[in-house]
Structure 1
Amino acid sequence: MAFLELDGVTKRFGPHVAVEQLDLTVAKGEFVSLLGPSGCGKTTTLQMIAGFLDLTGGAIRLEGRNLAEIHPSRRGLGIVFQSYALFPHMTAAENVAFGLEMRRVPAAERAERVEAALAMVGLAGFADRYPRRMSGGQQQRVALARALVIRPSLLLLDEPLSNLDAKLREEMQIELRQIQRNLGTTTILVTHDQVEAMSLSDRIVVMNTGRVEQIGTPQETYERPASAFVANFLGKTNEFAGTIEAGTQPARIVAGSWSAPAPAGFSGPVTVSVRPEKIGFAGAGQGLAARVAIRIFQGNHWLFQCETECGPAIVIRQNDGMAQPAEGEAVRLAWRPEDMSLRAAGVRP
């Protein structure tokens, strides 16, 4: 039996369908991210799990229990909001203790659990500090400690890192993942940040206009996107018009001057999708003819904007100390067949 199960979950606001027939099973201890652009239904889904919104259709079960039959306050969930929602008149320790007080945990046990929770998030010396005297990262830690101190069966995170600057957000991603692994708490994260979802998650649920586009591990969704939307939303991708030449044995896929054996299941015109870091510079007479339009140094790698006979292409090459093609230089681009994905030409992203 799945620990958390969403079975045909649907939510409508009048004629607008916010979430449509969402099916998802989550294992105990798993970290799953709901990823997608604004308005895709990810926050609505989280709010239905929390009980803040009623379902229009379907069911949500936690350890076999129908959550629709359980009041939100009795579901035993830990929630961290984007705004943190800390009480400004309470110290960090008082904020963390609030949920325990509501559950009438004895004072001695409450003090021990609050101290342990603050230490777990790196705030052992901040118990008496008020939120207004804390940085954004420290406030985020307090909110996380408050959610975890009640020992929730399920932790819900609603874009908790979006208000932090880039460097602090990266640091908090590492800390959050480490805490989740140590505690083994089943976690659902809502985010629109692709890097965050891939850094933290065991699996990613990519959503678009209320529907699930793909569910898979970070590597699966990145390396083998199920749709053009997933390919373009999870980082940069290059797309070339190609065709399957069935007259040869075996059949070949051709995009401009690049060709390779064709995978099974495709025929006629296709769109070839290749990630920028999967493309290399090939020798003379090999690969796709191109010319470097722009070359940008970005520290640990070079980014090349190239013009090819099949349209523009982005190439990312690691900075290995070797000489790199100059702007205006003619080059040849090549990639391995296993590093590309295909879809029939004309299929809508």
Structure 2
Amino acid sequence: MSFLSLDRVGKSFGPNTAVEEFSLAVSKGEFVSFLGPSGCGKTTTLQMIAGFLDPSHGTIHLEGKDLVAIPPAKRGLGIVFQSYALFPHMTAAENVAFGLEMRKVARKEREERVRAALALVGLAGYEDRHPRRMSGGQQQRVALARALVIRPSVLLLDEPLSNLDARLREDMQIELRQIQRNLGTTTILVTHDQIEAMSLSDRIVVMSKGRIEQIGTPQEVYERPASAFVAQFLGKTNEFAASIDRSGSTAKLVAGSWSTPAPAGLSGVVTVSIRPERIGFGASGLSGRIQSRIFQGNHWLFQCETECGPAIVIRQNDGEPQPAQGEAVHLIWRTDDMSLRPTRGGA
């Protein structure tokens, strides 16, 4: 039995559907991210798990119990909001202790757990400091300690790092993942940041327009996108049309003058998807020409025009000579590095 399960959960606001047929099984101790653009339904789904919204249909179970039938305050969930929602008149220790006070935990135990929670997030010695005297990163840690101190069955994170600057956000991602691994707390993260989702998650639920586009490990959704939306939302990708020719003794995947043996199971017109960093330059391959090249420190970014349309190539700055602007090139990649899907109306 799954630790947390959502079965065909949906939410409508009048005639507008925010979430549709959302089904997911989460294992105990797993870190799962809901990833998608604004308005895709990820926060609405998190709020249904938290109890702030009731599903229009479907079921949510935690350890076999019907979560929808339990009031939000009784669900035993830890929640960290984007705004942190700290009480400005309370010290860090008082903010962290608030949930324990509501649960009527004895004072001695409460003080010990608060001290341990603040130490866990790197804020030992900050017990008496008020939020206004703390940086954004420190406030975020207090909010995380407040959520963890109650020993939640599930930790819900609603874009908790989005207010931090890029460097601090990266540091907090590392710390958050380490804390989660050490505690083994089942965690659900809502984010629109692809790098954040891939850095933190055991699995990612990619959402668009209220529906699940794909569920998989970070590597699976990046390397094998199930739809055009997933391919384009998770980083840069190159896509071009190809056809499968089975007229000869060996089936071929053909795009312009380029061809390669075709995989089984597909026919007709397909879309080929290849990540820019998986493309190299060789003596033969897909013909093209360098339109521009941009030096970006640890790598070069090339914009190419090929016989199948524009393509982006990213090559590491390893000291080797790189093609010049205007130079004719051939793009090459391994068969395993491309993903194929039927083109609508083409198969």
Q: TM-score, normalised on structure 2?
A: 0.98
Query: Is 1:296–1:302's contact at 8 Å kept on the other side of the alignment?
Result: yes
Q: CA deviation at 1:9?
A: 0.4
> Match of 1:305?
303
- Output the aligned Cα RMSD: 1.0
Instruction: Give the whole-Å Cα distance in 2 for the aligned partners of 1:282 and 1:215.
Output: 35
> Match of 2:125?
125
Instruction: Give the whole-Å Cα distance in 2 for the aligned partners of 1:347 and 1:2.
Output: 38
> Match of 1:140?
140
- After superposing on structure 2, the runs of 4+ consecutive aligned residues of structure 1 that deviate more than 4 Å are none
Instruction: Give the whole-Å Cα distance in 2 for the aligned partners of 1:165 and 1:347.
Output: 44
> Match of 2:340?
342
**Percentage of pairs with the same residue:** 77
Instruction: Give the whole-Å Cα distance in 1 for the aligned partners of 2:170 and 2:229.
Output: 25
Query: Is 1:158–1:191's contact at 8 Å kept on the other side of the alignment?
Result: yes
Instruction: Give the whole-Å Cα distance in 2 for the aligned partners of 1:30 and 1:36.
Output: 19
Query: Is 1:30–1:202's contact at 8 Å kept on the other side of the alignment?
Result: yes
The code of the aligned residue for 1:342 comes to L
> Match of 1:314?
312
Query: Is 1:258–1:334's contact at 8 Å kept on the other side of the alignment?
Result: no
Structure 1 residues not aligned, in runs of 5+: none
> Match of 1:6?
6
Q: CA deviation at 1:344?
A: 2.1
The code of the aligned residue for 1:171 comes to D
The code of the aligned residue for 2:289 comes to R
Query: Is 1:10–1:19's contact at 8 Å kept on the other side of the alignment?
Result: yes
Q: CA deviation at 1:345?
A: 2.4
> Match of 2:81?
81
Q: CA deviation at 1:347?
A: 6.0
> Match of 1:214?
214
> Match of 1:325?
323
Equivalent position SS for 1:213: strand
After TM superposition, list the pairs within 5 Å mapping 1:266-277 onto structure 2: 266-277=266-277
Instruction: Give the whole-Å Cα distance in 2 for the aligned partners of 1:319 and 1:207.
Output: 34
> Match of 2:60?
60
The code of the aligned residue for 1:319 comes to N
The code of the aligned residue for 2:302 comes to F
Shifted more, 242-251 versus 158-167: the winner is 242-251
Instruction: Give the whole-Å Cα distance in 2 for the aligned partners of 1:214 and 1:154.
Output: 22
After TM superposition, list the pairs within 5 Å mapping 1:70-219 onto structure 2: 70-219=70-219
Instruction: Give the whole-Å Cα distance in 1 for the aligned partners of 2:119 and 2:186.
Output: 21
Cα distance 1:182–1:91, how it changes in 2: closer, same or farther (>3 A)?
Answer: same
Instruction: Give the whole-Å Cα distance in 2 for the aligned partners of 1:241 and 1:316.
Output: 21
Q: TM-score, normalised on structure 1?
A: 0.98
The code of the aligned residue for 1:125 comes to G
Instruction: Give the whole-Å Cα distance in 2 for the aligned partners of 1:216 and 1:312.
Output: 29
Q: CA deviation at 1:320?
A: 0.7
Q: CA deviation at 1:326?
A: 1.0
Cα displacement string for residues 203-234 of structure 1 (whole angstroms, at most 9, x for unaligned residues): 00011111111111000111111111111111
Instruction: Give the whole-Å Cα distance in 2 for the aligned partners of 1:265 and 1:41.
Output: 33
Structure 2 residues not aligned, in runs of 5+: none
